[in-house]
Amino acid sequence: MSPTHGFNTRAIHAGQDPDPATGDVVVPLHLATTFKQDGVGGLRGGYEYARSANPTRTALQEALAALEQGRTALAFASGLAAEDTLLRTVCEPGSHVVLGGDAYGGTFRLISKVASRWGVEHTPADLNDPDALRAAIRPSTRVIWCETPTNPLLNIADIALTAEVAHDAGALLVVDNTFASPYLQQPLTLGADVVVHSTTKYLGGHSDVVGGALVVGDDAELAEQLAFSQNAMGAVSGPLADWLVLRGIKTLGVRMDRHQDNAARVVEFLLGHPAVASVRYPGLPDHPGHEIAAKQMSGFGGMLSFRLAAGEDAALRVCERAQVFTLAESLGGVESLIEHPARMTHASAAGSPLEVPADLVRLSVGIEDAEDLIADLDQALAL
């Protein structure tokens, strides 16, 4: 598969050639933990032991690298397992990480509660303010950790600009691309060094698999170090998870098109509803990151949030009354989800700089019929 093939062609074929022995058009689910050697050290296709490499995982990794236009992709047991492996590879005691002020709560917890015990320091910074970002950098800064769009406020950071600041400081730019997916945004092409994914979300796309990935750009040495860590630390994804993510990836493009068409319809409805005080969606011209989003993304995605004029109780009521939107955490699946970040996904952020407004509701807009989604929100918002 060549990089000149279009995104959907790569999604369906990269790393997924028909099986040479059987002609299977779908990559088989390889459950074997060990592989017969043709004489001592005579490995077939490099396979030895399934933590080190497994053919189903290889296929997924090649597909992910092709979609992100990276050199190497590595699949992990979860998004956080990928992040942990990355941090432990590029940081050492005394290293410093600058992370966006509203990074994913689990990322913040990993850095502030776990990595900190091994001497890794961190500073939250507003990535939209280059002066504040530069001021947060120290000589020991190894990583700038950027998420765009963010959760649940859909803030946007300028990836190219942040990459420049990171590289001036001799640091790596890591971009968590979970919300956009590679269909809408390819951070490596904008200067990022590593892309992180929770494949649990849009890449898997069907709310039936937990997984994570790292994708590395041109830096061959970094790719090699991370591949070493993947095997040495062992937080690899299992073959069934790999198979499910690979299956999900085949329809990523068509799903994302529908997610964002539906999101745009829902946004339009919410903007016209008297119970709604404001809507956060990067596709809106008055969103503070709209211009940057329009520049670095090929669409605005399926995530949005909105605030209720009548406050927290009204927000809770909408979440509880919704029927087509399922009240649940997570995002990026075919089914629409609704949640109350202050009490659910972001409850642990209460009292911290990451605290979110109590009257905020977050939607992961699925691929159902837009009319049904709008009718559902209409009844849930009725007084």
Ligand X SMILES: *Cc1c(COP(=O)(O)O)cnc(C)c1O
The site for ligand X (CB under 6 A) is made up of 78-80, 104, 106-107, 147, 151, 176, 178-179, 198, 200-201, 210, 212
Catalytic residue flag (residue 193): no
Report the side by side order of strands in the sheet with 194-198.
72-76, 212-216, 194-198, 172-176, 141-147, 96-100, 121-125
Least distance to ligand X, CB of residue 317, Å: 25
Catalytic residue flag (residue 176): yes
Q: DSSP letter at 300?
A: -
Least distance to ligand X, CB of residue 147, Å: 6
Task: Give SS3 for 91.
Answer: coil
Residue (146 or 322) nearer to ligand X, CB:
146
Catalytic residue flag (residue 51): yes
For 135, the token pair is 């001021």
DSSP for 123-178 reads EEE-TT-HHHHHHH--TTEEEEEEESS-TTT-----HHHHHHHHHHTT-EEEEE-T
Q: DSSP letter at 105?
A: H
Q: How far apart are CA 101 and CA 150, in angstroms?
A: 10
Residue (107 or 162) nearer to ligand X, CB:
107
Q: How far apart are CA 307 and CA 106, in angstroms?
A: 23
Residue (181 or 317) nearer to ligand X, CB:
181
Least distance to ligand X, CB of residue 210, Å: 5
Least distance to ligand X, CB of residue 43, Å: 31
Catalytic residue flag (residue 201): yes
Residue (14 or 214) nearer to ligand X, CB:
214
Which of 84, 102, 158, 176 is labelled catalytic?
Answer: 176
Element (H, E) at 279: strand 276-280
Which of 84, 102, 104, 280 is labelled catalytic?
Answer: 104
Q: Is 218 exposed, middle or buried (0-12, 13-18, 19+ CB in 10 A)?
A: exposed
Residue (141 or 345) nearer to ligand X, CB:
345
Least distance to ligand X, CB of residue 75, Å: 11
| Nearest residue to 274 (alpha-carbon basis) of 310, 303, 321 | 310
Q: How far apart are CA 264 and CA 287, in angstroms?
A: 14
Least distance to ligand X, CB of residue 196, Å: 7
DSSP for 42-75 reads --BTTBSBTTT--HHHHHHHHHHHHHHT-SEEEE
Antiparallel, parallel or unpaired: β 276-280 and 96-100 = unpaired
Which of 142, 201, 255, 258 is labelled catalytic?
Answer: 201
| Residue of minimal Cβ distance to ligand X | 79
Residue (47 or 205) nearer to ligand X, CB:
205
Least distance to ligand X, CB of residue 78, Å: 3
Q: How far apart are CA 53 and CA 3, in angstroms?
A: 24
For 5, the token pair is 């093939």
Q: How far apart are CA 347 and CA 344, in angstroms?
A: 5
Antiparallel, parallel or unpaired: β 96-100 and 121-125 = parallel
Residue (287 or 362) nearer to ligand X, CB:
362
Which of 51, 71, 250, 343 is labelled catalytic?
Answer: 51
Residue (169 or 198) nearer to ligand X, CB:
198
Task: Give SS3 for 194.
Answer: strand
Least distance to ligand X, CB of residue 84, Å: 9
Catalytic residue positions, numbered: 51, 104, 176, 201
